[in-house]
Chain A
Amino acid sequence: MTAYIARRLLATIPVMAVVAIFVFLLLRLAPGDPAALIAGDDATSGQIESIRQQLGLNLPIWRQFLLWAGGILQGDLGTSIFSNMPVTTLIAQRLEPTLMLMVATLIVAISFAIPLGVIAAWKARTIVDRFVMLLSVLGFAIPVFLAGYVLMYVFSIQLRWLPVQGYRPLAQGFWPSIQSLILPAIALGTTYIALIARITRASMLEVLSQDYIRTANAKGLATSRVLLLHALKNASVPIVTVIGIGIALLISGVVITETVFNIPGLGRLTVDAVLKRDYPIVQGLILVFAATKVIINLLIDLSYAFLDPRIRH
C-alpha cells in the first residue's frame, strides 16, 4: 500500500508541471492587460507602459515563465501584481473560510442526502420515493444564487436569525463562525444533496435486490439493521465516489456562494484575480486546486480498499 501511495504521489509531479505550463500560457494568451487595469481609467498610454515595465510584463514569455517556475521550486508562488502581497499569504488568508464552507456544505449534504436516498430506495415507487426525487430535481434545478437570495431574504431580512453576509473566523468563536456558514452551506448544499441522494437511491436499490438482503429480512432482522448495516455499507463505494467528485465540484461551486454571501474565500480570490488579470494569484491558485484534486482522487481510491476488502486483493 505504501509503495502504491508513493507511486501515486510521484505521478502528480508531471500532472502539476503540465497544469503549470498550461495555465501560464493560457493567461498570457488571453486578452487583457493588468498594467492597464492597475493604472485606472484616466491613465495615459505612457503611465500604463511604465507600470508594465515595472511589473516585468514586457519580458519575453519564456523568461517570465522561468522566473515564475524558479520561484515555485523554492516554494514561492509569486507576488500579487495589485497589492504587492505574497500569493501564499493571500491564499492563507482565504483558506479558512473556503475550507469551513466546504466542510459545512458536506456535512449538510451528507446528513440530508444519505437518509433521503436510503428512504427513497426503501420506499421505492411510493409517494415518499416520488417526493424525494421531486426534491432532488428541484435541488438540481434551483441555481445556487437564487437559493442564496431566498434564504437570505427569509432568514436574515425577515426573521433576522442569521447574518446576511460575511464570514466570522473561528478565532472569533465557534458559534458565530457556524452562524455565518449556515445559509451559504444550505444554498451550496442543495445541488449536492440532490446528487448524493440520487446516487444513494440507485446504489441502494441495486443492493436491496440482492439475495443476502432477502436472507437478512427472512431471518427477521430489524429493517434499520438491514438497511444501514447490510445494504448501505455495500452500496457505499459509488456514494463515496460521488461525494469525492462533489468535493472537487465544490471548489467551483464556492465561487458563486462566496460572492452571494460575501465570504472572503479562495473562490472569490480566484474570480477577482482572473478579472483583474492578477497572473501570479491565478497561477498559484490553479496549482493549489490541481494539487487538491489529485489528493482527493487518491484518498477516494484508498477509501475503496477500506470499504470493500475485495478491492484490496
Chain B
Amino acid sequence: MMGKIASPAKASLLKGSLLGIASAMLLAGTAMTPASAETVLRATMHADVRTLDPHWTTQTIAGIHGMLVYDTLFGVDDDGTPHPQMVGDYSVTEDGLEYSFTLRDGLKFHDGSDVTTADVIASLKRWGAKDQAARAMFAYVDSLEAVDDKTFTMKLSAPYGLVLDTLGKTGTMVPIIMRESDASTSGDEQVTEAVGSGPFMMVKEEWVPGSKTVYVKNPNYVPREGEPSGFSGAKIPKVDKIELVWIDDSQTRMQALIAGEIDLLEQPAVDFVPILESDPNIEVIRTGAVDSHWGTIRINHLHPPFDKPEMRQALYHLVNQEDYLQTIVGNPDYYRTCYSYITCGTTYEDETGKEVISDYDPKKAYEMMKAAGYNDEPIYVLAATDHHTITPAAQVLLNAMREAGINVNAVSIDWGSVVARRSNREKPEDGGWNIFVTTSSGTTALNPALNTWLGAGCEGANVGWPCDEELEKLRGEFAFARTVEERKEVARKIQERATYVVPYISFGQWTQPMAYRSDKISGIVPVTGLTVLWNIEKSE
C-alpha cells in the first residue's frame, strides 16, 4: 500500500479553494452590515432581563428595564436631588402634611391611553406595599386621592421629610408608573406585560430570556425640557431600537465590543479595562458621580458569639479595606476606602469612629473576642464560589480570620445557595450562618433611611436581623429632619451608634467602569445605579 504524492495541480486546487473560502467570508462579512438607516443601539448589560415587573424584584436589571419602558413621577439628578419628571407642578403645605401633584400634559402609555391619576395612585400603592423605602414613607401616608385625571394629593400624618426623595428613588424597586389594570395585580404576583409611558417600548415578541431583549423608540413620548442629569431633565429616545444582547462570558463580551458587534458594555471585567482603554475606538468611563458598589461583611446578630456588640466590634480589626479592594478591583483609580455607613462622596457621609473601624490587627481581633467570651467555636462563613467580586472578597476575609486564629468553618456554596441560606434564622450548625459577604449599589446607601442594611428593627430588619432601638429611633429622626444640616447631624449620630452596634462592616467602595464605542455612539449620561440608555445617539 503506497501513497501518492499530491500533484502540483491538486496543490493549486487546494490553495485556490482556501482562497475562495476566505474571499467568500470577506464578501459575506460586508453583507453583515445592515442596509437600512434604522439606528440600533446594541448593549450588553451586567445581567439579562428575565423579569418584566420592576416592583416584583430588587434586581438592578429589572430597574434598568423599568426605566426604559416606564416613567417616574420624579427623577434624581447627578447630585441625588429629586426633580419633577412626569409631574408638571407640585406644592406642599407649610406644615409639610399635604402634597399636591399635577401630571404633565401629553403623557400616554404605549397602548395609546392617557396616563391618569388613577394609574399613578394604583402604581404607588402597589410599589408602597413592596419597597422598603416606600413602606417607610407610606407608614405616614393617610390618603392618596385623585382630584381629577391630572391632579392628586398625598396627605401625611406627620411631616415625613423624604417624600420627594422616595418618589424619585433609584437603584432597586423604582417607583415606576404602570397602567391601573397592571398595577391592580397583587404585589406578590408578577406583571407579565411591559406597557409603560417611558421613552422606549418593549417588543415582547422578540424577547428571548437569557439572550436578547428588544425595545423600540416610543414615537409619542413627550420628554420634559431641561438639561439631562441623572434621571432628571430631558429623556430623549435618540435611537430607533435598543437591543440588550446578553453575553455571559466576560472575554467574549470584550471581544464583541472590540469587533464593534456591540456598542456599549455596561460592566467590563476590571482585568480587561487596560485592553479596552488601549483601543482608540473605545472609551472607558466612570458610571456616575457616586461609586457604583460597596462591599458588606454581614453579621448574624441572632446567634452566639455575634449576639454581643463587643464580639462584633472585634471584627473591625479583621478588615483591611485595601486588601479587598486590591483583590477585587486592583486599579486605585476605581476604588476608595470608606469608613462611613453612608456612601462616601455623598452628602451624608460621616467617618466618625474611623480610628476604630480602620484599625487592622487580626491578633487584636482574636484577643477581643476571647475577652468577650469566645470559646473557639466554629464561625460559619458563607463563601460564594461563583461570584466575580464576592468570591474573592470572602477569601480575603477567611484568610484574615484564619490568620487571627479564629476557628472558621467556610461554607463553600454557589451564590444562589448563599442567598437562600442567608434567610435561614436557625443556628449556624443547623443550616443558618454567622457571616456572609455581599455587595450593594452605592445608591442604596445615600442616606440612613434608604440603607436597608443599616436597619436594626429586629424581626423586620434585613437578614442578620440587627436589633437596636436607639439606632432605629435615629433612622426615624433622619426622615423628619427638615434641613440638610439637621439631617447631617442625625447622620453623624447614626454613624456613631452604628459603629457600636455593627450591623455590618464595609470593605470599601468602588466604581464599575462602563465601556462604549466612541466612534459609533455619543451622548451617554453617566448615572450610578441604573444605566440609562436614552439620549444616546448612534452613527451607523
Q: Which residues of A contact B (CB under 8 A)?
A: 31-33, 36-48, 50-51, 53-54, 80, 82-85, 90, 93-94, 122-123, 128, 149, 152-153, 156-157, 160-166, 175-176, 179, 208, 217, 223, 259-262, 264, 268-269, 272, 275-277
Q: Which residues of B contact A (CB under 8 A)?
A: 1-4, 22, 25-26, 28-29, 31-32, 48, 50-52, 56-60, 62, 130, 132, 171-173, 187-190, 192, 208-212, 245-249, 251-252, 255-256, 258-259, 261, 386, 413-414, 416-417, 419-423, 425, 438-440, 444, 452, 460, 462-463
Identify the 3 closest CB pairs spanning chains A and B, nearest first.
A40-B58, A33-B420, A264-B211
Can you list 13 residue pairs at the A/B interface with Cβ under 8 Å?
Answer: A37-B416, A40-B57, A40-B60, A44-B462, A45-B425, A54-B188, A153-B255, A164-B256, A165-B247, A179-B32, A208-B1, A262-B246, A275-B414
A268: chain B residues at CB < 8 Å are 210-211, 248
Q: How far apart are the CA atoms of A295 and B421 in the complex, in Å?
A: 40
Q: Are the C-beta atoms of B248 and A93 separated by less than 8 Å?
A: no
Among the listed A31, A94, A161, which residue makes an inter-chain contact with B22, where contact means beta carbons less than 8 Å apart?
A161
Q: Are the C-beta atoms of A90 and B209 separated by less than 8 Å?
A: yes
Among the listed B32, B173, B255, which residue makes an inter-chain contact with A165, where contact means beta carbons less than 8 Å apart?
B255
Q: Give, as a whole number of angstroms, the nearest-CB distance from A140 to chain B.
A: 23
A149: chain B residues at CB < 8 Å are 251
B249: chain A residues at CB < 8 Å are 259-260, 262
Q: How far apart are the CA atoms of A165 and B462 in the complex, in Å?
A: 40
Q: Give, as a whole number of angstroms, the nearest-CB distance from B392 to chain A.
A: 17
Among the listed B31, B259, B413, B460, which residue makes an inter-chain contact with A156, where contact means beta carbons less than 8 Å apart?
B259
Residue of B nearest to A227 (CB): B1
Given A176-B32, A262-B249, A276-B416, check contact A84 B423 (CB 8 Å): no
Among the listed A42, A50, A90, which residue makes an inter-chain contact with B188, where contact means beta carbons less than 8 Å apart?
A50
Given A152-B252, A166-B261, check contact A277 B58 (CB 8 Å): no
B255: chain A residues at CB < 8 Å are 152-153, 156-157, 164-165
Among the listed A33, A82, A163, A269, which residue makes an inter-chain contact with B259, where contact means beta carbons less than 8 Å apart?
A163
Q: How far apart are the CA atoms of A110 and B50 in the complex, in Å?
A: 38
Q: Are the C-beta atoms of B208 and A93 separated by less than 8 Å?
A: yes
Q: Are the C-beta atoms of B444 and A42 separated by less than 8 Å?
A: yes
Among the listed A33, A43, A83, which residue makes an inter-chain contact with B51, where contact means beta carbons less than 8 Å apart?
A83
Q: How far apart are the CA atoms of A166 and B248 in the complex, in Å?
A: 11
Q: How far apart are the CA atoms of A40 and B258 in the complex, in Å?
A: 31
Q: Give, as a whole number of angstroms, the nearest-CB distance from A147 to chain B.
A: 13
A82: chain B residues at CB < 8 Å are 50-51, 209
Given A50-B188, A164-B256, A166-B261, check contact A80 B209 (CB 8 Å): yes
Q: Are the C-beta atoms of B192 and A84 separated by less than 8 Å?
A: yes
Residue of B nearest to A51 (CB): B188
Q: Interface of chain A, helix or strand or loop or mixed? A: helix
Q: Give, as a whole number of angstroms, the nearest-CB distance from A84 to chain B.
A: 5
A161: chain B residues at CB < 8 Å are 22, 25-26, 29
Q: Are the C-beta atoms of A165 and B252 separated by less than 8 Å?
A: yes
B29: chain A residues at CB < 8 Å are 160-162, 179
Q: Are the C-beta atoms of A42 and B440 separated by less than 8 Å?
A: yes
Among the listed B261, B425, B444, which residue makes an inter-chain contact with A164, where contact means beta carbons less than 8 Å apart?
B261
Q: How far apart are the CA atoms of A134 and B26 in the complex, in Å?
A: 32
A277: chain B residues at CB < 8 Å are 416
Residue of B nearest to A97 (CB): B211
Given A84-B190, A84-B192, A93-B208, check contact A123 B252 (CB 8 Å): no
Residue of A nearest to B462 (CB): A44
Residue of B nearest to A80 (CB): B209
Given A47-B130, A262-B252, check contact A39 B261 (CB 8 Å): no
B190: chain A residues at CB < 8 Å are 54, 84
Q: How far apart are the CA atoms of A89 and B132 in the complex, in Å?
A: 35
Q: Are the C-beta atoms of B452 and A32 separated by less than 8 Å?
A: no
Q: Are the C-beta atoms of A128 and B28 separated by less than 8 Å?
A: no
B26: chain A residues at CB < 8 Å are 161
Q: Give, as a whole number of angstroms, the nearest-CB distance from A131 to chain B.
A: 13
Q: Are the C-beta atoms of B212 and A264 separated by less than 8 Å?
A: yes
Q: Give, as a whole number of angstroms, the nearest-CB distance from B428 to chain A.
A: 15
Q: Give, as a whole number of angstroms, the nearest-CB distance from B504 to chain A.
A: 13
